[in-house]
Amino acid sequence: MKVAAIGAGISGLVAAYELAKSGLEVEVYEKEDFLGGHANIVTIDGVDIDLGFMVFNSVLVNMKVAVVGARISGLVSAYELAKSGVNVVVYEKKDYVGGHAKIVAIDGVDIDLGFMVFNWHKINLVENTPSHT
């Protein structure tokens, strides 16, 4: 399947990366002659200055934005947009947010998994770990 990512800002590039990682063919379209959107570097008097993601056009405040995916990058994007006054809705297909950063209950004990990378074939690794008694 071929997918188009419109815009090569942080969110567009992350979305394109995740889609490509899942096996889809992705084409990224960007109207500017640079990547990164508002995360930009400018040169002033020969010094490169990293602007990060901090510049908003006032037109964006009147936009409604849908963030698809409530993993860490989606939540951070939604948070930063909302802080700037943008009307944001987050959509997530799972029954929790945060992606791999979550809390699970094992034998009645809540375990904070933090932001871990899992090998999904070995997900019961925690249950197979000998207890420290």
Condensed to tens digits (0 to 9), the pLDDT of residues 32-55 reads 887 777 677 778 888 877 666 555
Task: Determine the Cα–Cα distance for residues 123 and 120; give it in Å rounded to an integer.
Answer: 5
Residue 31 has pLDDT above 70, yes or no: yes
pLDDT at 129 over 70: no
Torsion angle of C-alpha atoms 112, 118, 119, 120, degrees rounded to 10: 70
CA distances from 25 to 10, 11, 12, 37, 92 (A): 19, 17, 14, 22, 22
Q: Could you tell me whether strands 39-44 and 47-53 are parallel, antiparallel, or unpaired per DSSP bridges?
A: antiparallel
pTM of the model: 0.39
Q: Residue ranges of the domains in the chain?
A: 1-40
64 forms beta bridges with 87
Band of pLDDT at residue 128, cut at 50, 70 and 90: very low
pLDDT in tens, 97-107: 777 677 778 88
